[in-house]
């Protein structure tokens, strides 16, 4: 069946507007409970984590009501990173994990991400079945089978201790000065704790969440403040997470940012040298830069592209036995360590490489010259289908003709926001701008 609730990363929208309303979220919790409690026993459990948005309280309570009404026992983790939910779902033998977060979106948005008992995000098929249950009649559990709910006080501590075990260098981070920007989000306590306990001198930003300042002028989507802090404090590196800490943007010692493509280039080349890169293959999305592809080709490393969304990267990795993948936006997936993108664990691997090689960050995270790339977004009203109009199709065809094999064009609707994303790559910056602007203009006219 076609999915209406679920996008590329769970269910997402503006808080207190459809589908992020308390009544719909309660039904979603009840549907998920029914899906994962098929044998009718009372031993099923679900873990729920969240980021720091004010609306998280409402959604946590609504989900708890729906899940317990279906007979599920609920374990409330409080504010923890998304990858911590994946880890704790498996570690605590839960049948289901839920993260309440809209990731890098502003505070007025929120979302729900589902994890299966193996700690991996649900498949499209599972999400479609849950969505079908939401649309149908949900029979609640009998009174004697209603589930219980309780808080897990040491959830963050469990994740902190696990994340530290992924850092391989014996000397720890002694002598390194690290700026960590937590985006006033889910990792505002865990990330500085981990870095300090490993020995780093820590300058922490974005660690004063108030329910409304998540991702606001900070974090991976706005690393300017972290760049200033790196320069002001003479730090060795800056690590910028997003609101749920599954993304990472790195700043070198000059405050210059490096995106996920540069980080994946580092990991792929190092792992290939060490014989750790399964299939000598990196999995990434269609958004990754052509410069990354050429860099990997020179090292006889394969690049396998998927649709946009870290869950599709992970699905391909699992299907074909690969252990490294990610997205240009900063999701870095290392299935040797985690079931989903983990910005902090990725940061620890970079810090370990700095400690091992005694090289500055700039020597490690600038591996290739990107092909000029331009991305512009056009917002549209829900219910519109701008890419289906004849004028937009014609503009796309004309733009592709102008590129004529000298670059590539990618136009898609976002799976998390009502946006049309127009991206192109081309060695000629002037032609690049003209091509993108022509398609953007056509889309704007259509909407």
Q: What is the token pair recorded at 273?
A: 């040298």
In terms of DSSP bridges, do strands 201-205 and 177-181 run parallel, antiparallel, or are they unpaired? Answer: parallel
Q: Determine the Cα–Cα distance for residues 44 and 33; give it in Å rounded to an integer.
A: 9
The span from the CA of 106 to the CA of 331, in Å, is 18
Q: Which two tokens stand for residue 230?
A: 């790196």
168 phi and psi angles, rounded to 5 deg: -90, -15
Residues 6+ apart with CB under 8 A from 252: 237, 238, 258, 360, 361, 362, 365, 366
Query: Based on the number of CB atoms within 10 Å of its own CB, is 143 exposed (0-12), middle (13-18) or buried (19 or more)?
Result: exposed
CB 261 within 8 A of CB 335: no
Please answer whether residues 328 and 288 qualify as being in contact, where contact means their C-beta atoms are separated by less than 8 angstroms. Answer: yes
Set 55, 70, 101, 103: catalytic member: 103
The reply to whether 103 belongs to the active site is yes
Cβ-based neighbour number of residue 381 at 10 Å: 8
Taking the CA of residue 273 as centre, how many other CA atoms within 13 Å lie in the half-sphere pointing to its CB? 6
Question: Could you list the active site residues?
Answer: 103
């Amino acid at each position: 069946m076609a999915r209406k609730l679920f996008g590329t990363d769970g269910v997402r929208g503006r808080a207190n507007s459809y589908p992020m309303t308390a009544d719909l979220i309660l039904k979603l919790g009840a549907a998920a409970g029914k899906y994962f409690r098929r044998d009718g026993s009372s031993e099923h459990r679900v873990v729920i984590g969240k980021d720091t948005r004010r609306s998280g309280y409402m959604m946590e309570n609504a989900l708890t009501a729906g899940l317990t009404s279906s007979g599920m026992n609920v374990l409330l983790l409080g504010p923890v990173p998304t990858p911590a939910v994946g880890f704790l779902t498996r570690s605590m033998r839960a049948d289901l994990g839920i993260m309440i977060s809209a990731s890098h979106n502003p505070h007025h948005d929120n979302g729900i991400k589902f994890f299966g008992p193996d700690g991996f995000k649900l498949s499209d098929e599972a999400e479609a079945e849950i969505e079908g249950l939401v649309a149908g009649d949900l029979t609640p559990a009998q009174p004697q089978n209603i589930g219980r709910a309780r808080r897990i006080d040491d959830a963050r501590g469990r994740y902190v201790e696990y994340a530290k075990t992924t850092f391989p260098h014996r000397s720890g981070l002694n002598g390194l000065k690290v700026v960590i920007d937590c985006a006033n989000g889910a990792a505002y306590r865990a990330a500085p704790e981990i870095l300090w306990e490993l020995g780093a001198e820590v300058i922490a930003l974005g660690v004063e969440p108030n329910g409304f300042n998540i991702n606001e002028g900070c974090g991976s989507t706005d690393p300017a403040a972290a760049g200033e802090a790196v320069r002001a404090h003479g730090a060795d590196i800056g690590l910028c997470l997003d609101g749920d800490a599954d993304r990472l943007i790195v700043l070198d010692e000059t405050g210059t940012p490096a995106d996920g493509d540069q980080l994946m280039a580092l990991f792929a080349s190092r792992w290939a040298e060490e014989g750790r890169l399964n299939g000598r293959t990196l999995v990434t999305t269609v958004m990754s830069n052509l410069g990354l592809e050429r860099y990997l080709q020179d090292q006889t490393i394969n690049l396998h592209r998927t649709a946009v969304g870290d869950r599709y990267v992970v699905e391909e990795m699992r299907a074909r036995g690969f252990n490294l993948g990610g997205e240009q936006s900063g999701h870095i997936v290392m299935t040797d360590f985690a079931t989903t993108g983990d910005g902090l664990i990725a940061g620890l691997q970079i810090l370990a490489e700095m400690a091992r090689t005694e090289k500055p960050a700039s020597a490690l995270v600038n591996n290739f010259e990107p092909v000029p790339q331009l991305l512009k977004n056009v917002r549209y009203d829900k219910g519109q289908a701008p890419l289906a109009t004849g004028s937009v199709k014609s503009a796309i065809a004309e733009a592709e003709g102008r590129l004529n094999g000298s670059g590539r064009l990618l136009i898609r609707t976002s799976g998390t926001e009502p946006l049309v994303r127009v991206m192109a790559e081309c060695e000629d910056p002037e032609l690049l701008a003209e091509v993108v602007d022509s398609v953007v203009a056509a889309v704007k006219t259509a909407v």
